[in-house]
């Protein structure tokens, strides 16, 4: 039998010790578990960045895994702590939209509010008003990793917070107007345009893609297969490993070189027959 598997994703950084404290609590409660740090450098308070992260990571983890996610600017207020089931994985996090993109891919499973006070072992009588990751989410994850059932934690949560997703606009003439939604470590600019917008033959370059540089001023860019196909000094587009259109350049940061930020408009003009 496999040991329980718990992952941690936060915007805490590591140097201040918040993550270390959470791990210490988990090690004390569920010493047999495997604990994976996924990331602790989600941009501070950035729930949207957390949602994008989880969309890629959670589906890759096996069924039965328990995921603690703490990007929690509303800690200690009326925002609700919750446990969400998603395709046999469990996510313990604040109800602030972190699961928006997972739910968009494949509808939400059962969600439970973690009722307070919480009688799970390891939860102190008085929670820190500023650190539920340590005092609530970690003990709850330990409880779940040992087979505890989410429905024992509280009532169903029927109306979880969802963030608005900026869907691409499909205009009447077939033009699609998308936008950059994330810039990664390499300076690659990920858009909201899914692979489905591009028929398979499009991979051969049979599309016209533009990056809007100013109103009615557009820079045309090639669609290529992979980074190595891009020429030095060229801005190009490809379908990335998350099945989204992404702007990139050769061995450098496209975002920096072309000053591309989240919100930049990317236009799909035509799929050439």
CB closer to a copy of itself, 5 vs 202: 5
Instruction: State the DSSP string of 93-130.
Output: EESSSTTHHHHHHS----EEE--SS--STT--SS--SS
Shortest distance, position 174 Cβ to a copy of itself, whole Å: 26
Selected from 103, 139, 251, 260, the binder of a copy of itself by CB under 8 A is 251
CB closer to a copy of itself, 65 vs 179: 65
Interaction residues for a copy of itself, span 3-42 (CB under 8 A): 3, 5, 7, 9, 11-25, 27-28, 31-32, 34-42
**120-139 footprint of a copy of itself as x/- string (CB under 8 A):** --------xxxx--xx----
Selected from 147, 214, 241, 259, the binder of a copy of itself by CB under 8 A is 241
User: In the structure encoding, which two tokens stand for residue 70, read together?
Assistant: 């703490």
- Which conformational region is residue 4 in: left (phi greater than 0), alpha (psi within -120 to 50 degrees), or beta? beta
Shortest distance, position 223 Cβ to a copy of itself, whole Å: 12
Q: Yes or no: say if 224 and 205 are a contact pair by the CB < 8 Å rule.
A: yes
**Cα Rg for the chain, rounded, in angstroms?**
21
Cα–Cα distance, 45 to 70 (Å, whole number): 9
CB closer to a copy of itself, 43 vs 115: 43
Residue 142 exposed, middle or buried by CB count within 10 Å (0-12, 13-18, 19+) = buried
CB closer to a copy of itself, 133 vs 178: 133
Interaction residues for a copy of itself, span 51-80 (CB under 8 A): 52-54, 56-62, 65, 73-77, 79
């Amino acid at each position: 039998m496999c040991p329980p598997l718990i992952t941690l994703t936060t915007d805490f950084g590591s140097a201040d010790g918040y993550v270390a404290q959470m791990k210490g609590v988990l090690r004390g409660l569920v010493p047999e578990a495997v604990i994976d740090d996924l990331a602790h450098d989600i941009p501070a308070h950035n729930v949207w960045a957390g949602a994008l992260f989880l969309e890629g990571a959670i589906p890759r983890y096996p069924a039965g895994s328990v995921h603690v996610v703490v990007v929690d600017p509303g800690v200690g207020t009326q925002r609700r702590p919750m446990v969400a089931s998603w395709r046999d994985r469990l996510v313990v996090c604040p109800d602030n939209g972190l699961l928006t993109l997972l739910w968009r891919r494949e509808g939400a499973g059962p969600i439970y509010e973690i009722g307070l006070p919480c009688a799970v072992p390891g939860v102190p009588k008085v929670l820190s008003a500023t650190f539920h990751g340590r005092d609530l989410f970690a003990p709850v994850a330990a409880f779940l990793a040992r087979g505890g059932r989410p429905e024992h934690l509280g009532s169903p949560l029927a109306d979880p917070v969802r963030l608005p997703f900026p869907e691409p606009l499909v205009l009447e003439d077939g033009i699609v107007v998308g936008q950059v939604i994330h810039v990664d470590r390499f300076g690659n600019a990920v858009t909201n345009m899914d692979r489905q917008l591009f028929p398979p033959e499009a991979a051969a370059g049979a599309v016209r893609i533009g990056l809007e540089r100013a109103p009615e001023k557009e820079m045309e860019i090639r669609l290529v297969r992979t980074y190595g196909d891009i020429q030095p000094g060229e801005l190009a587009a490809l379908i990335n490993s998350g099945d989204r259109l992404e702007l990139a350049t050769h061995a450098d940061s496209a975002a920096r070189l072309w000053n591309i930020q989240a919100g930049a408009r990317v236009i799909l003009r035509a799929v050439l027959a």
